Amino acid sequence: MRLKREDDILFVVIDRGEGFVGCMKEVLHSSVMENVGVVITALGMVKNAQIGYGVYKDNKVEYQKAIFEEPLELLGLSGFIIKDEKLPLHFHVYLGDPNGNVVGGHLFDFEVFTFVEMALLTSSYPLKRVLKNGLFLIDF
Amino acid sequence: MRLKREDDILFVVIDRGEGFVGCMKEVLHSSVMENVGVVITALGMVKNAQIGYGVYKDNKVEYQKAIFEEPLELLGLSGFIIKDEKLPLHFHVYLGDPNGNVVGGHLFDFEVFTFVEMALLTSSYPLKRVLKNGLFLIDF
Amino acid sequence: MRLKREDDILFVVIDRGEGFVGCMKEVLHSSVMENVGVVITALGMVKNAQIGYGVYKDNKVEYQKAIFEEPLELLGLSGFIIKDEKLPLHFHVYLGDPNGNVVGGHLFDFEVFTFVEMALLTSSYPLKRVLKNGLFLIDF
């Protein structure tokens, strides 16, 4: 994983074989990372993608998980990195298969198959997360 | 709906049970909103999503509408908020179902099921929309 | 294609009948374009979309191509414009069909059916691409 900050943009390149979540933890703890990172854009090709659909019941969430082993085009990511140990990483992902069909959901992790290139917008604003009814909500 | 502006980023958190369009109208009329808001990222979980596919004929558009009542993962949003009464809100949406399949289209509205967290980039540039051949085009 | 730069945001509007790649080349060579443009948001309606799924073998990529002639909702784009002749344009796309189903992949090109409106975040940082194992990777 290589990263470069220029003004408030953080450019991140992830190489073949690296795991996404491990790389995002490196970004989180990097000296150039501010308190918040907002995904502007992300693309590349990934494999072993683990995604989920949240089932909420009695203030608890359980994820129906799906694993896609084959390489898929990373069409994009939405999400936030926030320096809050309660939920520092929160991403949703959308992926394209060999026929052009798209799958997506809550992102657990993926392995980079060729490369992933992304840009984050950073902010020093002290966003935090608070636990409310079982959800880690952004709080100002 | 809660919002916080820091420099040119507007953080928006929408709580369970709130309607998206109503919240975006609040953002539009908020004192911290500039003339333009560009969606950087958006994610969460929604229900009763109403989406459309535009059919254009004789300079008129009619939308084929679909309603998805079940909770869906909000994978992302693209779009603009512009302080122009002709078309202040324009969003396209992509949503993930329990099997990881993705649906999407022109967004009419959805109800927030757990939460939605989003970030907009604001600009004071006097973008406007003009009506041309039945389309509300962005004009500089 | 019309474009307007305000601070570090580049607003781009593409009109009916224009080709996407031709317009992005105009953006690339525009006097207001910095070294890098990051897609923040993009939406509209397109036709004759050509998308691909990359098959990598022996440090070479071959794309399985699909062409979608019918008008599709442009749900969004991820990608970078970089002033580097090795690979100046790199985009992935996600598109919604009349039933709300979504297709997507590596973007070769599309023709604008009604309009496309997009915003890019520009940066003067001297990002480049380097060829490594058959891939044009972003290099800092």
B13·A104 Cβ contact <8 A = no
**Residue A99: CB atoms within 10 Å:** 11
Per-residue confidence (pLDDT) for residue B58, from 0 to 100: 87
Of A40, A54, A92, the CB nearest to B40: A40
Pick from C137, B39, C102: nearest CA to A40 = B39
What are the backbone angles phi and psi of residue A127, rounded to the nearest 5°?
-60, 145
Q: What is the mean pLDDT of residues C87-103?
A: 98
Q: What is the mean pLDDT of residues C46-62?
A: 95
- Answer whether C79 touches A (CB < 8 Å): yes
- Answer whether A32 touches C (CB < 8 Å): no
Map residue B27 onto helix, strand or coil: helix
| pLDDT tens digit sequence for B92-102 | 999 999 999 99
Contact A95, A74 (CB under 8 A): yes
The set of residues, in sequence order, having a beta carbon less than 8 Å from that of B122 and lying 6+ positions away, is B5, B8, B9, B10, B33, B34, B36, B37, B38
Of B9, B74, B101, the CB nearest to A121: B9
> How does residue B27 score in pLDDT terms, banded at 50, 70 and 90?
very high
Please give the single-letter amino acid code of residue C93.
V
Percent of chain B predicted with pLDDT > 70: 100
Burial of C104 (0-12, 13-18, 19+ CB in 10 A): buried
Per-residue confidence (pLDDT) for residue C30, from 0 to 100: 97
Percent of chain A predicted with pLDDT > 70: 100
Per-residue confidence (pLDDT) for residue A58, from 0 to 100: 87
Stretches in chain A below the pLDDT threshold 70:
none
Mean pLDDT over the full length of chain A: 97
- Answer whether A92 touches B (CB < 8 Å): yes
- Answer whether C45 touches A (CB < 8 Å): no
> How does residue C11 score in pLDDT terms, banded at 50, 70 and 90?
very high
The set of residues, in sequence order, having a beta carbon less than 8 Å from that of C95 and lying 6+ positions away, is C46, C49, C51, C68, C72, C73, C74, C75, C102, C103, C104
| pLDDT tens digit sequence for C58-85 | 889 999 999 999 999 999 999 999 999 9
B9·A38 Cβ contact <8 A = yes
Dihedral through CA C134, CA C104, CA A47, CA B45, nearest 10? 140
Chain B adjacent subunits, 3+ CB pairs under 8 A: A, C
Mean pLDDT over the full length of chain C: 97
Contact B106, C73 (CB under 8 A): yes
| pLDDT tens digit sequence for B37-59 | 999 999 999 999 999 999 999 88
Label residues B2-11 b or e (16+ Cβ within 10 Å = b). Answer: ebebbebbbb
